[in-house]
Structure 1
């Protein structure tokens, strides 16, 4: 038996703190965002009630994993039965809606036969014995696909892509009366005061708290930071047009209420703006342009505008597989936080960990193979060619499996405007971080190609001058240098998003990052052209230094 009271004695315990990684910039702030103290005896009591057992039957409680938004605990009973408790970090948004929607999404999709863990109990608020939001769910056995992903052979890739395409086919074949996110009607009633739009023809005999419905979209950009305070429409959506408009209207509402001049959040990019603050009115103007153009992006083919659901962030780390039978089998698909029901033409696309679209061979959909003369190549070159082949095979067989087993998704993938529509929609919905160039560049592309995109003869309601197009092109191309510099620095130092590094790598990476800063500043000092003012702004905007807390808050 575990003594839960003893686990509460050390509030600095790894049970409450993020220990998987560190952050080269604003480390203390990022760790605090992921710190969550909760009542362990209270959680044990909840587990006992949910599993109909005695608290004394809980013989082990330990941290199993940490993700981007949640901490996972493995709970073992004396019967050897195991379950997990998932507790969100404080940074999860919109917390109550996100937890309630994920639980309902998992329950709904399980009923459709998808391999998703069972939920035993949950709370979307901290008003409970555990004093935290939580989800108690089935422990998904097997291994993370990420553990074997880089070593897959072609026959394993083919099998896995077939299975994945069939799972996605089941998922995307579900029809919905509206767009948004899935909830239990009782939860949505408690959260928002309404019961949403009912799903399926649910029998009247089903208890109200078990009925599914569509309610507000929980996609992060709609709620991020002070946006959660806005009284704006977030769904449910009645049609594709309302989906295209919701994110831009939200961001306009934010700019009108909270917008203020600010430097680009990405410090790599500030040089190309002369280290000057940018006006929110520039982005507001482009959002207005988008709102005038967006209705014309709705496809003429109604099937492309049909509402469907996909996994919100499918990666190799949230697919659990088994190799017990000698072949790979998908056992579970995890992490359904922020799932949304959207039109097919906005959902269609390759998962990031599968797509290899920048590669010429993958673009042409040529059956990949090792190059001629492979055996004569140096060992290092052979390793590089094997990895390139694996990426190409994954891309190729996912496409082929999707064409065979998931005709719905394949239709969206081959829709000529698929990539562009998703891109401009994402840029218009994104949170404003002191830049508008990505949206502006996409708008110019749409206006220039208007007659190809919009075939009904409607005239384009927006025009750009030659000077505006040239300036945007110049800035956009210049910023590719910033992205290249960012990739080089990340590659040299070895950090990920938000400057994350494994905890064991933190001290070495921090020291190396500071050494690179020293070398950069020395090069500036040795350059006779560099002024004291230029030196100062380079020093003040080093991307691996802490950003002032007040400045961080500005971007929310």
Structure 2
């Protein structure tokens, strides 16, 4: 029998701390953000109640995985039944809304026949025996696709892409009366006092305000409520009393994020240096005023209505998995062939217009490659057998990326025509891009949004085919300055990528624990060489040397400066 009290004796146990990786910058802060002590005996009691068993029947409890926002535990009963307990880190935002919405989304989509784990119990507050928010859900046997992703044969890739397209077709065919995130009506009422938009077919055609007024919590189980997308809530934005949905139409979706960010800049905005260190040089390491970004957000709001496609079907609300990756798919690999068993991690799923959901998953898209863009069936070069072994390996990996991209497109065209229509609609990639720049958290720069605005203005006839004059005008000097800065920053990004690739770190300077000491030392060695080169340059002043030293991206950043971005 497992004694849950014994697991509480060591509060520095890996059960409460992040042990999967380390961070080359602000490591202590990043680890502290992910530390979370909870009451294990209390959690066992909750599990026993949810599964109608005794706590004594729980014979196994171990950490299974750690993600960006949650820690996953595998719970085993003496009957052999296993389940997952997922507990969020303190940094999860907006914690209560995100957790409540994910549970309801999983239940709703599971009821539509989609392969999603069953939820046994959950709490979006820490006011319970476990003293933490949690989700208890079904543990799905199978293989994480990430374990075999790079070893798939072409027939397996074709089968997998076909299955994925069919699942996405079922998902994206579900109609919704409004946009936003899915909740249980009772949970949304408790969270916000708002009853949201009920999900029932007979409401079609009834105005949004009338539906909200007439909803009965006793009759409605699911509803659409506030959008849980992180940029709408990040840091002090959570304190803002701003509209976050449910969205009545596509235009409402397009303008809400920009209005949120304008409200944030108005209340909390202050000059700051760009968050990305390598880009600071091109701003002379000076703090940038929030007014520049606010100006571009207001420009965007004047243009946003023209981003709505002429084809109404592209503005229909639908839902899609928020992050289709190889690590979120469980598959079987037995004699029956590769089969998708379950799709995991529905945190931050949102109902949006089709044209904002349409796009290839990052793990699949290969748009940087000319062959993939042309949709020519990929193959190995004719002289493959004569190439050196190292070159053959490179060609095989190139082929793998092209095959995944190619077959996802083909499968989508055959099995998910709704999505394919959005994929091929003119300028749809641009619509998503400018929308994402407008909703994004301000990090001391506005060039991405400005550059997209200039693109839209320069191609105005494609958005206003009725001859409506463009409501935004840029001078030649503004365009030239933006182009110069944009190209310079592209070089800065290449420099950062080179450093990232050489040292081997990921987002937030993350590295695997085993690689930490080596990566830390190598990063500092590159810094030493960089400063040495600066010192040897006759044009480098002491002031410039000091600025380069102070802005090295792999050094700890002042926590007060970090807080500015929240």
Taking structure 1 as the reference length, the TM-score comes to 0.99
Give deviations 1:451-506, integer Å, cap 9, x for gaps.
Answer: 12221211100000000000000000000111100110011000000000001100
Give deviations 1:133-157, integer Å, cap 9, x for gaps.
Answer: 0000000110110000001110000
Distance change in 2, residues 1:115/1:327 (3 Å): same
Secondary structure (helix, strand or coil) at the match of 1:106 reads: helix
RMSD value, Cα:
1.2
1:509 aligned residue: 519
Q: Distance in 2 between matches of 1:117 and 1:324?
A: 20
Mean CA deviation greater in 210-219 or 73-82? 210-219
How many positions carry a matched residue from both structures? 555
Q: Distance in 1 between matches of 2:220 and 2:402?
A: 44
1:99 aligned residue: 99
Secondary structure (helix, strand or coil) at the match of 2:352 reads: strand
Q: Distance in 1 between matches of 2:201 and 2:434?
A: 35
Q: Distance in 2 between matches of 1:380 and 1:529?
A: 42
Give deviations 1:28-56, integer Å, cap 9, x for gaps.
Answer: 01001111100000000000000000000
2:429 aligned residue: 419
1:330 aligned residue: 340
Specify every segment of 5 or more residues in structure 1 that has no aligned partner in the other structure, as ranges: none
| Correspondence list, 1:424-439, <5 A | 424-439=434-449
Shift of 1:325: 2.8
| Correspondence list, 1:240-255, <5 A | 240-255=250-265
Q: 1:553 aligns with which of 540, 547, 563?
A: 563
Give deviations 1:388-420, integer Å, cap 9, x for gaps.
Answer: 000000000000000000000000000111100
Give deviations 1:163-212, integer Å, cap 9, x for gaps.
Answer: 000000000000000000000000000001021111124999x9839700
| Correspondence list, 1:220-235, <5 A | 220-235=230-245
Q: Distance in 2 between matches of 1:335 and 1:189?
A: 24
2:151 aligned residue: 151
2:316 aligned residue: 306
2:160 aligned residue: 160
Give deviations 1:220-279, integer Å, cap 9, x for gaps.
Answer: 000000000000000000000000000000000000000000000000100011101000
1:356 aligned residue: 366
Mean CA deviation greater in 397-406 or 138-147? 138-147
2:82 aligned residue: 82
Q: Distance in 2 between matches of 1:124 and 1:202?
A: 30
Q: 2:397 aligns with which of 366, 387, 402?
A: 387
Give deviations 1:60-109, integer Å, cap 9, x for gaps.
Answer: 10000001110000000000000010000001000000000000000000
Secondary structure (helix, strand or coil) at the match of 2:361 reads: coil
Query: Is the contact made by 2:257 and 2:440 (CA closer than 8 Å) also made in structure 1?
Result: yes
Q: Distance in 2 between matches of 1:521 and 1:328?
A: 52
Secondary structure (helix, strand or coil) at the match of 2:544 reads: helix
Q: Distance in 2 between matches of 1:415 and 1:250?
A: 28
Instruction: Report runs of 4+ in structure 1 exceeding 2 Å deviation.
Output: 200-204, 206-210
Mean CA deviation greater in 209-218 or 242-251? 209-218
Specify every segment of 5 or more residues in structure 2 that has no aligned partner in the other structure, as ranges: 204-213
Q: Distance in 1 between matches of 2:454 and 2:507?
A: 29
Mean CA deviation greater in 317-326 or 237-246? 317-326
Q: 2:478 aligns with which of 468, 485, 492?
A: 468
Shift of 1:16: 0.3
1:319 aligned residue: 329
Q: 2:301 aligns with which of 291, 303, 328?
A: 291
Q: 1:396 aligns with which of 388, 403, 406?
A: 406
Q: Distance in 2 between matches of 1:200 and 1:525?
A: 69
Give deviations 1:365-397, integer Å, cap 9, x for gaps.
Answer: 000000121111110000000000000000000
Are 2:357 and 1:347 equivalent residues in the alignment? yes
Secondary structure (helix, strand or coil) at the match of 1:100 reads: helix
Shift of 1:326: 4.1
Q: Distance in 2 between matches of 1:486 and 1:140?
A: 39
Q: Distance in 2 between matches of 1:141 and 1:312?
A: 22
Secondary structure (helix, strand or coil) at the match of 1:208 reads: coil
Query: Is the contact made by 2:322 and 2:350 (CA closer than 8 Å) also made in structure 1?
Result: yes
Query: Is the contact made by 2:229 and 2:348 (CA closer than 8 Å) also made in structure 1?
Result: yes
Q: Distance in 2 between matches of 1:12 and 1:149?
A: 35
